[in-house]
Amino acid sequence: MIEVEALTKRYGSTTAVDGLTFTARPGTVTGFLGPNGAGKSTTMRVVVGLERPTSGATRVDGRRYADLPAPLHAVGVMLDARSVHPGRTAYKHLLAMAQTHGIGKARVREVIAQTGLEPAAHRRAGTFSLGMGQRLGIAGALLGDPQTLILDEPVNGLDPDGVLWVRRLVRELAAEGRTVLLSSHLMHELALCADRVVVIGRGRLLADATVSDLAGESGTLEEAYLRLTSDSVEYTAGGAR
């Protein structure tokens, strides 16, 4: 379970997250949606202890990230698929992560198979396509068999097979009772795999609803999203607003 409670994060004069509260629950895929710069990545970075909140709090399974005894087993994270050392092979990268938590080679091989990385396991990550890098990032998130997964834009750069694979994977993880928080720009993508959707704009909560409630009576989910975020989009195809 992920709890975000009255979270505010400022960088100088920029308020990236502004009094945000929501909960991502076990057994559920929670879609985290908002236009560019809405504050999704910042929120996720605070949840996993990479940023300190200006005010408010975040918790994973009732604890602050810093208080988790074995973070890799509690929460699997993929924030930036390009953050892997380019000179390391996929296998070596995962093995190095595994060793920080006493996870064995068998589990490394298991997540390599689960993410379809077997043919590329001994290639340097620097030679990977964006899609392969995403698979490696997801493999790292799965490594500790965590109850909670946080995936920032996991379908970015994936081919159609990869997109289908991610959809199936997150559904399976939730069906096993895990908490999955998944960000995307794409409402239609989330509609296909999320149970709930948390929509933010300019760091503020705009909606927290089931996919079907958000679409409501009036048209499609995409229309509901555009209506919600129309005041939050800083730039449109026609230029600055």
Catalog residues that contact ligand ATP under the rule CB under 6 A: 11, 14, 16, 34, 36-42, 185
- Supply the minimum distance, in Å, between the C-beta of residue 130 and ligand ATP: 15
The owner of tokens 């300190």 is 52
Q: How far is CA 145 from CA 10, 71, 84, in A?
A: 33, 11, 20
Say if CB 16 and CB 71 are below 8 A apart: no
| Residue closer to ligand ATP (CB basis): 97 or 163 | 163
| Residue closer to ligand ATP (CB basis): 14 or 129 | 14
- Supply the minimum distance, in Å, between the C-beta of residue 230 and ligand ATP: 16
- Supply the minimum distance, in Å, between the C-beta of residue 32 and ligand ATP: 9
User: Which residues, in sequence order, are CB contacts of 196 under 8 Å at separation 6+?
Assistant: 24, 25, 28, 29, 30, 31, 208, 209, 210, 211
How far the first Cα of the chain sits from its last, in Å, is: 38
| Token code pair at residue 203 | 């760091």
| Residue closer to ligand ATP (CB basis): 186 or 209 | 186
- Supply the minimum distance, in Å, between the C-beta of residue 37 and ligand ATP: 4
CA distance 146 to 218: 38
| Residue closer to ligand ATP (CB basis): 41 or 89 | 41
